[in-house]
A and B are shown apart, each in its own frame.
Chain A
Amino acid sequence: MRIAVIRFPGTNCETETAAAIRRAGGEAALVDYRDTTLDGVDGVILPGGFSYGDYLRSGAIARFAPVMQPIRHLAEGGGIIVGICNGFQILCEAHLLPGALLHNAARRFSARPVDIRIERADLAVTRDFREGECIRIPQAHGEGRYVADAGTIASLEAGRQVVLRYVPVPGSDMPHNPNGSVADIAGICNPAGNVIGFMPHPERLADPLLGGAVGHRFFTSLVGARAAELTA
């Protein structure tokens, strides 16, 4: 199980993302944004960070990097593409996922744990969860307010494409939705479910050394999911 972790100029979560893949038993390959092939790769993670300094709009320039060509091909062929934080922004800019991620409604960078509900447990990164399970996980972003027109939101809901949703934190005085996302959306997938993007950072809570390992399950899902498919 070989996962490509793409590094753009300004990406800064690739090392811990690769470490989380390896810890889950997968093989991680750091791939440069200028590469034009993804041979021998079973899946791709676009990790967090600030590709191209977030110039113009977050993800707007990374979308045209050479590596996006083979990623698009892989996506069209049903390959697993996962965007975390900036990776989610890139997937939206690339129109591999619908909608856009705008500046947080509170005008502040938000970096704190949030509670999210796993809305679907049948996807490559959520198979090791139960549907409806709520977990607390870190997020850190300035542009995470998911928006899309009403028709798109309705079709996301009808097609069960909302994968992760912010949920109220019992006893907390913080807003449960850290950025003002419509419908408390924290993550979505495409209709086929093979392209998935979300704002939280599972790689930051993927080892007990980091204070918890709930994020590890995203990576065991990913690594195990593919292994199961291959033997099926």
Chain B
Amino acid sequence: MMFRVRVRVTPRPGLLDPQGTAVEHALHALGFAGASDVRVGRAIDFMMEAVDAATAIADASRMCERLLANPVTEDFTVAVES
């Protein structure tokens, strides 16, 4: 089966995220005073062939552990849809 995979990688809570801070300041400057705790991560989308959804999730998680996320500083989530 072909799955559409979306990996989300985010800076670990508690770690300073200068990009998130800059975006938050910019949002406040635009008048969005209610925005807080802005964190900037990244989304990685790809298609993947796998026998079932559980295998696709397991493979994508291994990709995150080895390359897509840094285990020292980042957390990740994996979502798949067929």
Shortest CB-to-CB span from B32 to chain A, Å, is 20
Residue B22 lies at the interface, judged by CB distance under 8 Å to chain A:
yes
Interchain pairs with CB closer than 8 A, number: 34
Contacts of A145 in B (CB 8 A): 16
- Taking CB atoms and an 8 Å cut-off, the chain B residues in 49-81 that contact chain A are 67-68, 70, 72-73
Contact partners of A180 in chain B: CB under 8 A: 16
Chain A residues whose C-beta falls within 8 Å of the C-beta of B70 in the assembled complex: 57, 60, 93, 100
**Number of A interface residues in the complex (CB < 8 A):** 21
Q: How far is the CA of A217 from the CA of B70 in the complex (A)?
A: 34
Query: Which residues of chain B in 14-62 are interfacial with respect to chain A, using CB atoms and an 8 Å cutoff?
Result: 15-16, 18-19, 21-22
A103 and B72 contact, Cβ closer than 8 Å, known pairs A60-B67, A64-B67: no
Main secondary structure of the interface of A (DSSP, over half): loop
Q: Kindly identify which residue among B15, B22, B67, B68 contacts A107, using a CB–CB cutoff of 8 Å.
A: B22
Complex Cα spacing A56 to B73, Å: 13
- Collect the chain B residues with CB atoms within 8 Å of residue A148's CB: 72
Residue in contact with A105 in the complex, picked from B16, B67, B68, B73, CB distance below 8 Å = B16
Q: How large is the interface on B (under 10, 10 to 19, 20 to 34, 35 or more residues)?
A: 10 to 19
Q: Is the CB of A56 within 8 A of B18?
A: no
The smallest C-beta distance from A32 to any residue of chain B, in angstroms, reads 22
B67: which A residues are within 8 A, CB to CB? Answer: 56, 60-61, 64
Shortest Cβ gap from A153 to chain B (Å): 12
A99 at the interface (CB under 8 A from B): yes
A106 at the interface (CB under 8 A from B): yes
CB pair B72–A147 under 8 Å, yes or no, is yes
A-B contact pairs, 5 of them (CB 8 A): A56-B67, A100-B72, A145-B16, A147-B15, A148-B72
- Kindly list 17 other residue pairs between chains A and B, CB separation below 8 angstroms, not including A56-B68, A147-B72, A180-B16: A56-B67, A57-B70, A60-B67, A64-B67, A100-B72, A102-B15, A102-B16, A103-B18, A103-B19, A104-B18, A105-B16, A107-B19, A107-B21, A107-B22, A145-B16, A147-B15, A148-B72
> Which of A's residues lie within 8 Å of B, judged by CB?
56-57, 60-61, 64, 92-93, 98-100, 102-107, 145, 147-149, 180
Across chains A and B, which 3 residue pairs bring their CB atoms closest together, nearest first?
Answer: A100-B72, A107-B18, A100-B73
